[in-house]
Amino acid sequence: MSPAATPVDALIAKARDRSAVFGIVGLGYVGLPLAMELVRAGYRVIGFDVNQRAVDGLNAGKSHIQDVPTQAVADAVKAKKFSATTDLSRMGEPDVISICVPTPLSKTKDPDVSYVLAATESVKKTLRRGQLIILESTTYPGTTRELMLPALESTGMKVGVDFFLAFSPERVDPGNPKYNTRNTPKVVGGITAHCRAAAVALYQPAIDTLVPVSSPEAAELVKILENTFRSVNIGLANEMAIVCDKLGVDVWEVIEAASTKPFGFMKFTPGPGVGGHCIPLDPHYLAWKMRTLNYKTRFIELAGEMNAEMPEYWVTKVADGLNDQGKAVRGSKILVVGVAYKKDIDDIRESPALDVIKLLEQRGAHVSYHDPHIASLHEDKLDLTSVPLTAETLSGSDCVIIVTDHTAVDYQLIAKSARRVVDTRHVLPRGEKPA
């Protein structure tokens, strides 16, 4: 490198020869898959996490994330391309730091950016000239510029000159067999043009398609729009399910017929509600931000309310089914099939199944569950263990409610053995649904 090379030139050169060292803050569903793709691209990666158990497991070559094979972690560790640590004072070592920490909501549905602020503070303590900092955590528009930038510039260094700052939203879809970190296009918005150029250059070897946008705010809004779009359309599908139920029409037949239109319609399906970290939370980031600007996002908030009410709707369907048999919910044995927030994964974050179970227990039901991906459930005062899905278990239940449509579940057995089934996912074989 020429002595006259600028910091941005130096970073781009390190991207070309893969000599840049990446630091990933947060080694969960977002951070660990990203770390493995960066290793595969030829970079050395240091993972940072506050969970000592997770760090020890990773350094022993063991993955704790379903979408990341243990062999991939073991190979990366053996090749000395990946290591994990809880020592945040080492953040001065990487050339690039990607922050992949949680951004939950508070009980009042306000964004909790405490993890982002804590990570920023740790970066600030070790920030050196020439480093690139990229926030990947989903958050409200303005977080990168309004919260992170002042903290980092308080060191006396100038963004776009001495250090670089960008936002690039994670787009992880756990359990998706087709799209992963590498082949999902990655949006990048930098504080300055140099920030964006550095981020694009450094991610390019690990990501098939980069989508540069004009600012961090644009990138922040991209992620929120994606999941708000899904939330609103799922909310519409859920309301249509209730409309069809009241009209005595099969909502699934209506949706399937509508989806034959080759233009102007996109298929969304109803269900027990929405789960995961994105769809139930992301729209609230935007709603909160707009409230600070004295604007009410009515459409977005209505969809959120609709989706949040679906567990109650399906529990009422269970109660109605039991009532048809002359039974009360209180004292009845209810089997919940599937507690993950979506099919074929082991993630229960914001899962509507948790609300379904709690609502049934509040009505006095004896609730058990079966999930091939989740052996035990210790969440929000729930303490349950998955039961085997057998003819005896099914016939011994007063009602079975299918909440998550895992591929590995034997739906033929459920249709054959259960006394009554409430199918929130439309997975039972047609013509074989118990009365």
Q: Express each pLDDT in 340-379 by its tens digit.
A: 999 999 999 889 999 999 999 999 999 999 999 999 999 8
- What integer is the mean pLDDT of 173-194? 95
- Chain segment 133-169, per-residue pLDDT in tens: 999 999 999 999 999 999 999 999 999 999 999 999 9
Tell which residue, 314, 333, 329, 331, has the closest CA to residue 394: 333
Instruction: Give the pLDDT score at 1.
Output: 47
Query: In this structure, are 384 and 275 located in the same domain?
Result: no
Query: In this structure, are 207 and 128 located in the same domain?
Result: yes
When divided into structural domains, the chain yields a total of 3
pLDDT, mean over the chain: 94
The answer on pLDDT for 432 being more than 60 is no
- What integer is the mean pLDDT of 414-435? 84
Query: In this structure, are 166 and 20 located in the same domain?
Result: yes
Query: In this structure, are 85 and 201 located in the same domain?
Result: yes
Whether residue 96 is contained in a domain is answered as yes
| Domain enclosing residue 235, as ranges | 224-306
The answer on pLDDT for 225 being more than 50 is yes
- What integer is the mean pLDDT of 108-116? 87
Distance of alpha carbon 256 from alpha carbon 234, whole angstroms: 15
Between 279 and 241, the more confident residue is 241
Of 149, 181, 214, the domain-final residue? 214
The answer on pLDDT for 199 being more than 70 is yes
Of 214, 238, 261, the domain-final residue? 214
Task: Confirm whether 244 is a catalytic residue.
Answer: no
Question: pTM here?
Answer: 0.90
Instruction: Give the pLDDT score at 130.
Output: 97
The answer on pLDDT for 52 being more than 80 is yes
- CA terminus-to-terminus distance, the chain: 75
Query: In this structure, are 180 and 83 located in the same domain?
Result: yes
- What integer is the mean pLDDT of 297-322? 94
Distance of alpha carbon 44 from alpha carbon 366, whole angstroms: 51
Of 258, 278, 306, the domain-final residue? 306
Q: Of 190-199, 281-290, 310-319, where does mean pLDDT reach its minimum?
A: 281-290
Query: In this structure, are 32 and 151 located in the same domain?
Result: yes
160: exposed, middle or buried (Cβ count in 10 Å: 0-12, 13-18, 19+): middle
One-letter-per-residue 3-state SS of the chain: CCCCCCHHHHHHHHHHCCCCEEEEECCCCCHHHHHHHHHHCCCEEEEECCCHHHHHHHHCCCCCCCCCCHHHHHHHHHCCCEEEECCHHHHHCCCEEEECCCCCECCCCCECCHHHHHHHHHHHHHCCCCCEEEECCCCCCCHHHHHHHHHHHCCCCCECCCEEEEECCCCCCCCCCCCCCCCCCEEEEECCHHHHHHHHHHHCCCCCCEEEECCHHHHHHHHHHHHHHHHHHHHHHHHHHHHHHHHCCCHHHHHHHHCCCCCCCCCCCCCCCCCCCCCCCHHHHHHHHHHCCCCCCHHHHHHHHHHHCHHHHHHHHHHHHHHHCCCCCCCCEEEEECCCCCCCCCCCCCCHHHHHHHHHHHCCCEEEEECCCCCEEEECCEEEECCCCCHHHHHCCCEEEECCCCCCCCHHHHHHHCCCEEECCCCCCCCCCCC
Query: In this structure, are 355 and 419 located in the same domain?
Result: yes
Q: Are the C-beta atoms of residues 59 and 46 closer than 8 Å to each other?
A: no
Query: In this structure, are 364 and 286 located in the same domain?
Result: no
Query: In this structure, are 302 and 337 located in the same domain?
Result: no
Instruction: Give the pLDDT score at 132.
Output: 98
Q: Are the C-beta atoms of residues 358 and 382 closer than 8 Å to each other?
A: yes
Q: Of 62-76, 99-113, 116-130, 286-300, where does mean pLDDT reach its minimum?
A: 99-113
From residue 97, alpha-carbon distances to 25, 158, 222 in Å are 7, 17, 21
Pairing label, strands 96-99, 132-135:
parallel
Whichever domain contains 335, its CATH number is 3.40.50.720
Whether residue 433 is contained in a domain is answered as no
Whether residue 431 is contained in a domain is answered as no
Whether residue 1 is contained in a domain is answered as no
Q: For residue 279, what pLDDT band results from cuts at 50, 70 and 90?
A: confident
- What integer is the mean pLDDT of 309-318? 97
Instruction: Give the pLDDT score at 429.
Output: 75
Identify the residue whose tokens are 């979506």: 342
- What integer is the mean pLDDT of 394-398? 97
Instruction: Give the pLDDT score at 3.
Output: 55
Whether residue 258 is contained in a domain is answered as yes
Instruction: Give the pLDDT score at 234.
Output: 95
Instruction: Give the pLDDT score at 431.
Output: 56
Q: Percentage of the chain with pLDDT > 70?
A: 97
Q: CB within 8 A of 349, min separation 6: which ones? A: 275, 276, 277, 341
Instruction: Give the pLDDT score at 430.
Output: 66
Q: For residue 174, what pLDDT band results from cuts at 50, 70 and 90?
A: confident
Whichever domain contains 265, its CATH number is 1.10.1040.10
Whether residue 435 is contained in a domain is answered as no
The answer on pLDDT for 105 being more than 60 is yes
The answer on pLDDT for 267 being more than 80 is yes
Between 106 and 219, the more confident residue is 219
Query: In this structure, are 204 and 272 located in the same domain?
Result: no
- What integer is the mean pLDDT of 172-190? 93
Query: In this structure, are 57 and 150 located in the same domain?
Result: yes
Whether residue 2 is contained in a domain is answered as no
Query: In this structure, are 281 and 337 located in the same domain?
Result: no
Among 100, 195, 278, 399, the active-site one is: 278
- What integer is the mean pLDDT of 378-400? 94
Q: CB within 8 A of 173, min separation 6: which ones? A: 179, 184
Q: CB within 8 A of 17, min separation 6: which ones? A: none
